[in-house]
């Protein structure tokens, strides 16, 4: 599946974001090895620090569905007029399941889609020696 299509799905699911505190919707679409796409949104909490990002929400959902073989991720932030890249915590969590050449795409509402890789976003893979790879 094209990253553009994956990004469209991420943009659609951003409408399901639960983000009453930041009012910043985020959608993530994770392409799995079986061709299916697992979606995630950010889910905030009145205890602010407990919010979870869209990327991690998609990863947790996929693993819960028995899907652990990921091929690409797209992240959409329709409330920004520029592309917003995955946060540091999400990069760390993604790195558990993604190789250096894993495609990552992200974009905001301005129509630009940044296409990069896990290796570019997270060149020094923290604690990689514990990942068993």
Residue 87 in contact with ligand THU, rule: CB under 6 A:
yes
Catalytic choice (2, 55, 96, 120)? 55
Count interface residues toward ligand THU (CB under 6 A).
15
Nearest to 25 by CA among 38, 37, 9, 41: 41
To the nearest whole angstrom, how small is the minimum distance from the Cβ of residue 27 to ligand THU? Answer: 9
Is residue 68 within 8 Å of residue 33, measured between CB atoms?
no
CB-nearer residue toward ligand THU: 22 or 36: 22
By C-beta, is 31 or 57 nearer to ligand THU?
A: 57
Selected binder of ligand THU within 10, 13, 14, 26 (CB under 6 A): 26
Q: Identify whether 96 is a catalytic site residue.
A: no
37 binds ligand THU (CB under 6 A): no
Q: Which residues bind ligand THU (CB under 6 A)?
A: 19, 22, 24, 26, 42, 44, 51, 53-55, 75, 84, 86-87, 90
């Amino acid at each position: 599946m094209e990253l553009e299509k994956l990004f469209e799905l991420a943009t659609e699911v951003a409408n399901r974001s639960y983000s009453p505190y930041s009012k910043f919707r985020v959608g993530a679409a994770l392409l799995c090895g079986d061709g299916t796409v697992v979606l995630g949104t950010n889910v905030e909490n009145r205890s602010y620090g407990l919010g979870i990002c869209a990327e991690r929400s998609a990863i947790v959902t996929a693993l819960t569905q028995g899907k652990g073989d990921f091929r690409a991720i797209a992240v959409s932030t329709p409330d920004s007029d520029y592309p917003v890249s995955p946060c540091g915590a999400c990069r760390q969590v993604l790195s558990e399941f993604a190789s250096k050449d894993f495609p990552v795409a992200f974009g905001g509402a301005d129509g630009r889609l940044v296409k990069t890789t896990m290796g570019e976003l997270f060149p020094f893979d923290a604690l990689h020696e514990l990942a068993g790879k």
